[in-house]
Chain A
Amino acid sequence: MWAYIFRRLIYNVPVFLGILLFVFAALRVNDPVWMYLGKGATQEQYETKKKEFGLDRSYPVQYFELLGDVVTLNFDQKSWGQEGLTVGELLGSSIKPSLAITVPALFLTSIISICVGLISSFFRGGKVDKTLVILAVLGMSISFLVYIILGQYFGAYKILKETGASPFAISGYEPGIGNWAHYCLLPVMISVIVAMGYDTRFYRAVMVEETTRDYIVTAQAKGASRRKILFVHMLKNAMIPIITRIMITLPFLIAGSILLEMYFTIPGMGRTLITAINDKDFPVIQVFTAMFAALFILSNILTDVLYALVDPRVRLS
């Protein structure tokens, strides 16, 4: 098992180096210092700024410095956009709000859509199944942004306007578990509704595929009830595609939370990144994209390990 994990880690090293190289190059296509200072700056200001951040050194030196910073988690570079803050402080303060949305959303989406997928495949071909499939396809065809705009209007704004009570905040964020429902529940619900369309369809297809397997016939032959076949035999065997799916949705959740954070002004990683892009805040963009990629690779490795735990055949290949 450990050998397998080690192999996966080694395999992902060139991938991570490649990502860093890409991020590194993409941010230097347009000279970041000129972009930050604007066209009105003098040559002298430009040189000073460049020197201050070590951007005047050769590219390999800069690349390895970035690599070193990311690997040793050394983020004390100063942010250009937000005075007096380092990248590390920004990262530290923005991870929690992001997780406060992403983790519950992932959890709820998976549980609800696996259940709906099971129900759908249980009533396969019937009215319930057809309705659910149509709803899922329809839901998938509407833009995420529309869900957010309408969700905020009907979920927060309208209730506040008509009753004066405010169960959900229109926007903003406060740390603490007590405040979670007020600020995060509405974005989480929107996120769940959007992801449901995709996930339900996928889980239904997985379950339907499983119903054609031989072990189902065996179970039927020995007289197991339909319910037992569905929830005990099938669910267990469908674990691999389910795990893959949950892990595959991770980057979509990060992406989705960028939009939610922007709209509900929640100071998470996504919002910080977009603000940094608007401010041409080069050090923050560089580190944040690298960290997003690192998190993603870690989740990939985790997926592979979970695979190996669930299905021993994987370890041998």
Chain B
Amino acid sequence: MIKKFLRSRGLRKLLSNRLAIAALGVIGLYTGIGFAVFLGAITEKDTEARVWTDSYPGYPHHQTAEKRLDNCEVILSRVMRVLETEGELSEVAFAERSVSDASIEELTQKVQAGLALYEEIADTVGSLNDNPEVLPRIEQLEGFVDDVYTPLTGWSSLVYDFRLFFGTDRQGRSILIRGIYSIKVAIQVGVVVALIAVLFGSVLGAAAAFFGGWVDHLVIWLYSTFSSIPHLVLLTLLAFMFLGHPLETTLIPLYVAFCLTFWIGPCRVIRGEALKIKELEYVQAATAVGFGRFTILWKHILPNTSHLMFINFSLLFIGAIKSEVILTFLGLGIKDGASWGIMISQSQAEVLNGFFWQIGVATALMVGLVLAFNILTDALQDAFDPKHV
């Protein structure tokens, strides 16, 4: 079957389509990244790690004099509090930077000097943001912060810069890291859902067409029933089934909801195709030779609908990724970790304040993958099912 597929006209047509090759390349790249994350390149812990203090979304891309000043004050007074209460200095380590090993007296002196400088700058009359004279003094203040914390060097400073590349969200977490981790979540959801739904739908559809009679009636009744509940209503209903269940925080409710909703498309299409194939001569020949009914179904009918399975896989993959975003926004989708849905839902408040980094990164990454799949679906349809409208 694989040999036949490799020599088929459809595949040659697909490979001669340059756009389709580019789309395949993009999908390969995403899958590679997703797989690297899956193997542990980025863990869920990394997505929760803070690379900057909270409530400063967009750091370091949206820096005003006032914000830089506030930031220094937050960091320095946090160290001061620990010094005064003689607590553990490791507690105020942030963004992988630990407090320098200098003696307590020296640290206290630096922090106090820094805070004094802060008071001085803060007392400046008028708006800080439009005052060029303030800038060198703020840099001086930031120098104090750098003195208190050991600077990052070499590899770890590169990693730190990488994490700050697209800035931070409202909780001070790296947007880039969260975006990349979400690739894995999206691909995982897409592959699991599309694979199960396509296989389930195809087997059911082909069986309905081949056996006819009550099997056919049952399958038709089943898919008209499921397709008569609006998509999102069905998804919310299924997600509701798992509320409060121990499995609620895993991805399993999402898989179940998507699979039960998405199997209808492939089932309908493949039932139609199998009805046509059933009447063809080679199936009659196979029956005449004496093959069992299940053998004919499994070996002669299903493989000949494989092009439709590919097309449907690609369609459902897109559907799963896009529905994840919507369900997550409604509070019924992914709950923990990071995903494009979580990122886009969380960016609501940031957008109202004019920060577009989080929604931008999540959307750009998502568009890349979905667009590639859209182009691939079109190319697959052109190559293998040219009569389709």
Contact = CB atoms under 8 A, between A and B. Distances in A.
Q: Do A and B bind? A: yes
A147 to B, nearest CB: 10
Nearest to A295: B230
Contacts of B221: 14-15, 18
Contact of A144 (B326, B348, B359, B375): B326
A143 B375 contact: no
Nearest to B231: A255
Contacts of A15: 221, 224-225, 228
Given A35-B244, A146-B363, A277 B236 contact: yes
Contacts of B326: 143-145, 259
A296 B224 CA distance: 11
A277 B352 contact: no
B168 interface: no
Interface stretch (B112-120, B127-135, B302-310, B366-374): B366-374
A227 to B, nearest CB: 23
A255 B233 contact: yes
B22 to A, nearest CB: 13
B183 interface: no
B389 A144 contact: no
A154 to B, nearest CB: 10
Contact of B229 (A29, A146, A292): A292
A37 to B, nearest CB: 12
Interface residues of B, number: 45
Contacts of B95: none
A39 B225 CA distance: 34
A285 B238 CA distance: 12
Interface string A122-165: 00000000000000011011111110011001000100000000
B325 interface: yes
A23 interface: yes
A289 B322 contact: no
Interface in A261-300: 262, 270, 273-274, 277-278, 280, 285, 289, 292-293, 296-297, 300
A141 B237 CA distance: 26
B236 A274 contact: yes
A273 B340 CA distance: 24
Given A30-B241, A142-B367, A289 B233 contact: yes
Interface stretch (B193-201, B274-282, B286-294, B328-336): B328-336
Contacts of B322: 143-144
Interface in B357-385: 359, 363, 366-367, 370-371, 374-375, 378
B366 A143 contact: yes
A144 B318 CA distance: 13
A241 interface: yes
Nearest to A197: B374
Contacts of A138: 367, 371
B225 A22 contact: yes
B248 to A, nearest CB: 10
B228 A297 contact: yes
Contact of B352 (A142, A153, A255, A293): A153
B232 A255 contact: yes
B344 interface: yes
Contact of B329 (A145, A209, A277): A145
A229 interface: no
A114 interface: no
B60 to A, nearest CB: 23
Interface string A16-58: 1011001100110110000100000000000000000000000
B375 A137 contact: yes
A292 B240 contact: no
B231 A251 contact: yes
B47 interface: no
B345 interface: yes
B182 interface: no
B351 interface: yes
A206 interface: yes
A254 interface: yes
Interface string B1-42: 000000000000000000000000000000000000000000
Contacts of B351: 149-150, 153
Contacts of B325: 143-145
A206 B229 CA distance: 27
A258 interface: yes
A14 B242 CA distance: 27
22 contacts: A14-B221, A22-B225, A26-B241, A27-B240, A29-B241, A137-B371, A140-B370, A141-B367, A141-B374, A145-B345, A150-B351, A205-B389, A206-B389, A209-B389, A251-B230, A254-B233, A258-B233, A259-B232, A259-B330, A278-B331, A297-B228, A300-B228
- Please name the 8 residue pairs, one residue from A and one from B, whose CB atoms are nearest each other, closest first: A255-B232, A18-B225, A251-B230, A141-B370, A141-B371, A143-B325, A141-B367, A254-B230
Interface of B: 221-222, 224-226, 228-233, 236-238, 240-245, 322, 325-326, 329-332, 340-341, 344-345, 347-348, 351-352, 359, 363, 366-367, 370-371, 374-375, 378, 389
